[in-house]
Chains A and B, each alone.
Chain A
Amino acid sequence: MKTIASIIFVLFSSLALTAPLMAFEINGHVSAEGRLFAHDPLYPDQEKNNASIALEPEFYHAWDVDYSLIFIPFLRIDNSDSERTHFDIRELNILLLGNPWELRIGIGKVFWGVTEFVHLVDIINQTDLVEDIEGEDKLGQPMVHLSAPTDWGVLDFFVLPYFRERTFPGRDGRLRPEDVIDTDNPLYESGAEENHVDFAFRYSQIFDFGDIGMYYFKGTSRDPLFSPSVNSNGQTVLLPYYQQIDQVGTDLQMVSGNWLWKLEALYQDNEIKSYYAATGGFEYTFIGIGDSMIDLGIITEFAYDGRGDEATTSFENDLLLGLRLGLNDTAGTELLASLSYDLDNKGNVFRFETSRRITDNIKVFLEGWVFFDTTPEDFLLYSIREDDFIRLQLFYYF
């Protein structure tokens, strides 16, 4: 940690001294959060509610239009779960702009995908699961990323020299299985373990009627399997097991008037169980309902995973319905409500999230999750069946 900090300091100060100061910016946010759970915890050691604070500053420096450096550290301190108290470097990279190619070297973040609810094909960055079970928070990924736009599409090449393990709640935390996931003793298929070098190649293109992307990934699966084990204290734990995979994926989006049609699909080849998975659907937006400024979007998506009950997600045969309300007011008020309905009746989830600006610098987020009709066949949902909660976050932006 100290080494990283001193490297960053030397980098910044030397660059700042040698180059004419073109643009240096500090932005970011601090946030305070409370999570209130509706029921008492199911497992011993778990604390009922939790509060935490987080800091995510962003340091940005550009020398001229062709060179820039970005550094985004992240820190959360949680009062009950020691695994949720964590530090990460979300980004620390140099961006070189050629013409027209660009090269990014360092820790970065990349998102692929089009659907609203299940982020199936997104694979470059590991999920920071202790942050949010929705899976949209990601850990920084070391990478060399070359992006080359051509007349017939954009080509992206990735070399990923280091693997990031997924974060999981600890013994005191909620939203976990009965047996705690032992993140200190991960298992790898590759002898190189977390030092395995992964590769990815992606092609994407935009058309008047829509956007298309496809990729090939070879390396360590971001999505672990679990192997039961007994730790030194004699407790049963789950060890994450990271396989080597070959994966092809595609994301398609078509636009037609107020309709957006979306599809993500992948095929993964691995040693244990190769599989197909897909998710897709549509979003239709009513603009200015009832002569107001309010937009209403209706989202219908379907998610399928060929592994069935053995899937590492709970979206193996689910219908996902959503309503999105955008008030288009000065406060930027938004609301998204969704129902994930399991077509095999293994367990359902209702969720809402809403946000609103209070002042120019302060924003409030509120989200709620309800897990219902859960069955042991959906292990993930069944484990958290007593963990209905609301989460209130207050962000201060600087």
Chain B
Amino acid sequence: MDKKMNQIHTRSILFIATLIFILAITFLHMSDHALAETPEQKGLAIATEADQRDTGYKDSIADMLMILKNSHGQESRRKIRFRSLEVEDDGDKSLTIFDSPKDIKGTAFLNHTHKVDDDDQWLYLPALKRVKRISSRNKSGSFMGSEFSYEDIASQEIEHYTYKLLRDEEYEGMDCFVTERYPVDIKNSGYRRQVAWIDKEEYRTLKIEYYDRKDTHLKTLTMSGYQQYEEKFWRASEMHMVNLQTGKSTLLQFSNYKFKVGLSDDDFNKNSLKRVK
């Protein structure tokens, strides 16, 4: 009797254990499915994480030397000062001031970036003391005759693209995500897609390949000399854009980065344009 009971007991334990095992496997498998992100979700998550890590810089200033090179290797230089202001719940504001060439010295470009709507942009022409509102749809237009377009140098808001994680890859000895991003404003962007190499450790963008509307590889941007400021914010000291179709290139060298210098909205309005020096 006892023996029989024991047998039944053992069997039922075995049965329950098996059941639990099967259930567990099924459940684990299901949950694995349920938790798994699509490449699109992963791409967005990477962009969000990179944006998160750069949140809280408040404001920053930097000097920029722009070196334009044509296909014959002839060089032309521009000196530029750059100021930016973090705006909560909207795109950042930026002010770009030209110091050289001398004929455009004092010319200033004010941009109020928006997450969804068109940006608001003004250009100040010092000789005429005139502030001109400009059409902000010129995203694909060249910035100052360089290989950078307005959309390349504008504040990179998450909402400006949709994303897709392509693969993991080693680049310059660093483990990287390789993600693809697609402009939301298809009509005005100069690109069909961009492929970005982002390092897994610090979420810094190291390289971007730009594909034009016909999906031809147009330009490659490499960003190097990253330095960390305020123990948080990474900034590249060199950005090198090469146009593969024309052989021209533009090198941006950044220096004198300063953060939290106390800039406010009043430093990014039309009045502030007129008093830049």
Residues of A within 8 A of B (CB): 23, 25, 27, 29, 60, 62, 68, 95, 97, 99-100, 102, 109-111, 113-114, 136, 147, 149, 154, 204, 206, 208, 210-211, 253, 255, 257-260, 285, 287-288, 293, 295, 328-332, 357, 360-361, 363, 395, 397-398
For this complex, 15 residue pairs linking A to B, each with C-beta atoms less than 8 Å apart, are: A23-B277, A29-B102, A60-B277, A97-B275, A102-B271, A206-B269, A260-B133, A285-B138, A288-B140, A288-B141, A293-B145, A330-B68, A332-B103, A397-B101, A397-B105
> Which residues of chain B from 6 to 57 have any CB-CB distance to chain A below 8 Å in the complex?
none
Q: Which B residues are CB-close (under 8 A) to A109?
A: 129
Asked if B232 is at the interface (CB within 8 A of a chain A CB), the reply is no
A255 & B140 in contact (Cβ 8 Å cutoff) = no
A27 & B104 in contact (Cβ 8 Å cutoff) = no
A257 & B118 in contact (Cβ 8 Å cutoff) = yes
A208 & B120 in contact (Cβ 8 Å cutoff) = yes
CB distance from A265 to the nearest CB of B (A): 18
A100 CA to B265 CA, complexed, in Å:
10
A60 CA to B141 CA, complexed, in Å:
33
Q: Which B residues are CB-close (under 8 A) to A330?
A: 68, 70, 76, 145
A255 & B129 in contact (Cβ 8 Å cutoff) = no
Q: Name A285's closest neighbour in chain B (CB-CB).
A: B135
Q: Which A residues are CB-close (under 8 A) to B237?
A: none
A55 CA to B270 CA, complexed, in Å:
29
Q: Name A209's closest neighbour in chain B (CB-CB).
A: B120
Given A111-B128, A259-B135, decide whether A149 and B104 contact each other with a Cβ distance below 8 A.
Answer: no
Q: Which A residues are CB-close (under 8 A) to B271?
A: 102, 147, 149, 154
Task: Enumerate the 6 nearest inter-chain pairs by beta-carbon distance, A residue then B residue, closest first.
Answer: A397-B102, A328-B142, A100-B266, A111-B129, A360-B101, A363-B103
CB distance from B22 to the nearest CB of A (A): 60
A331 CA to B144 CA, complexed, in Å:
10
Majority SS at the chain B contact face? loop
Given A110-B129, A111-B130, A330-B70, decide whether A361 and B101 contact each other with a Cβ distance below 8 A.
Answer: yes
B133 & A255 in contact (Cβ 8 Å cutoff) = yes
Given A136-B128, A360-B101, decide whether A154 and B135 contact each other with a Cβ distance below 8 A.
Answer: no
A27-B102, A288-B141 known; 4 new pairs, CB 8 Å cut-off, are A23-B277, A29-B103, A288-B190, A330-B68
Q: Which A residues are CB-close (under 8 A) to B266?
A: 99-100, 149
With beta carbons under 8 angstroms apart, the residue of B76, B118, B145, B188 that contacts A360 is B76
A102 & B275 in contact (Cβ 8 Å cutoff) = yes
CB distance from B216 to the nearest CB of A (A): 11
Q: Which A residues are CB-close (under 8 A) to B104?
A: 332
A73 CA to B114 CA, complexed, in Å:
41
Given A95-B275, A287-B140, decide whether A255 and B135 contact each other with a Cβ distance below 8 A.
Answer: yes
Q: Which B residues are CB-close (under 8 A) to A62?
A: 277
Q: Name B69's closest neighbour in chain A (CB-CB).
A: A330
A252 CA to B157 CA, complexed, in Å:
30
CB distance from A36 to the nearest CB of B (A): 24
> Which residues of chain B from 91 to 123 have any CB-CB distance to chain A below 8 Å in the complex?
100-105, 114, 117-118, 120
CB distance from A90 to the nearest CB of B (A): 10
Q: Which B residues are CB-close (under 8 A) to A361?
A: 101-102
Q: Which B residues are CB-close (under 8 A) to A147?
A: 271
Q: Name B76's closest neighbour in chain A (CB-CB).
A: A330
Q: Which B residues are CB-close (under 8 A) to A285?
A: 135, 137-138
Q: Which B residues are CB-close (under 8 A) to A260?
A: 133-135
A295 & B129 in contact (Cβ 8 Å cutoff) = no
